[in-house]
Amino acid sequence: MKRRDLLKGMAAISASPILTSYALEGNLVLGKHDALIVVDVQNDFLPGGSLAVSDGDAVIPVINHCMQLSAAKRLPIYATRDWHPADHCSFVENGGTWPKHCIADSPGAQFAENITFPDDVIIVSKGADSDKEAYSGFQGTDLSDQIHAKGIRRVIVGGLATDYCVLNTVYDALANDLDVVLLTHAIRAVDLHPGDGDRAIKSMMERGAEVHDGLILAD
C-alpha cells in the first residue's frame, strides 16, 4: 500500500458531525476471530457508474490497506456484490427506486479494477431473485453460516453505500450475534435525502457497532 494512496482516502472523506463527536484513535488490533466484509465495491457504484456514489472510489485505498493486513493474518475476507437479474424489483422500470445497476455478469456488476482482493476472497452474491430486494449481505445468502462455521466473532465492515447496503449488512451482523467495527474512512453514502449517511452511522452505533477510521491498524 503506497502512503500517497492511503492519504488520498483520508483526504477525501467528508467531515461528519456524527464522526467528529467520537474519538477514533489508537490501533484496531485484528485477531484470529475477526473477518473483513467488503460491501459492494462495484463499478456501477463508482464514479461513472449507473448508480454512482459520490466519492465512492475513495474507499478503495483504505479497504486495500485493511485487506493487506487481514490477509497477512490469514483472516477471512468476504466481498458482497449486487448480482441482479435484468428485471429486478429495485429498478425504476419495475416500480423500484433505483436505475438499473449491477446486472449479473455485466461490466457494471464487476468489482472495481483497482481493488486488490486476495486469491482466497469469498464472494457473496445477493439480490439475485427478481422479486426480492437484498441490501444486506446476509439476506438470502449463507454468509451467517459461513462466518459462524469459522468461529468468527467480530466483523470489520467497509464499502458502499453507508445508508443502504453497509447499513443493512451491519444490522444483520449485529442480529447474528457478531460484534461489528465500522471503518468510517472506508464508507460513502448515497444521501438520497441529505444527511442519510450521518443518520445511518448514528443508527449503527446506537445498535452497538463500534467505529474506527481504519487507518491505524495493528500489523
pLDDT digits (tens, 9 = 90+) for 169-187: 999 999 999 999 999 989 9
pLDDT bracket for residue 4 (50, 70, 90): low
Q: Which amino acid is at 154?
A: R
pLDDT bracket for residue 28 (50, 70, 90): confident
The rounded percent of the chain whose pLDDT value lies above 90 is: 82
Q: What is the CATH number of domain 3-12+28-218?
A: 3.40.50.850
Q: How many CB atoms sit inside 10 A of residue 210's CB?
A: 15
SS3 state of residue 179: strand
pLDDT bracket for residue 215 (50, 70, 90): low
| Catalytic residue annotation | 40, 126, 165
Q: Which amino acid is at 56?
A: G
C-alpha–C-alpha distance, residues 38 and 22, integer Å:
23
Q: What is the pLDDT of residue 214?
A: 62
Tell me the Ramachandran region of residue 104: left when phi exceeds 0, alpha when psi lies from -120 to 50, beta otherwise: beta
pLDDT bracket for residue 27 (50, 70, 90): confident
216 or 83: whose pLDDT is higher?
A: 83
Q: How many CB atoms sit inside 10 A of residue 2's CB?
A: 10
Q: What is the pLDDT of residue 179?
A: 97
C-alpha–C-alpha distance, residues 147 and 33, integer Å:
10
Cell of 89: 424489483
Q: For 33-66, write each residue's pLDDT tens digit.
A: 999 999 999 999 999 999 999 999 999 999 999 9
Q: Is the pLDDT of residue 11 over 80?
A: no
On average, the pLDDT of the chain sits at 89
Q: Find the mean pLDDT for residues 152-173.
A: 98
Q: Is the pLDDT of residue 164 over 90?
A: yes
Cell of 193: 435525502
Lowest mean pLDDT across 27-36, 135-144, 171-180: 27-36
- Model pTM score: 0.89
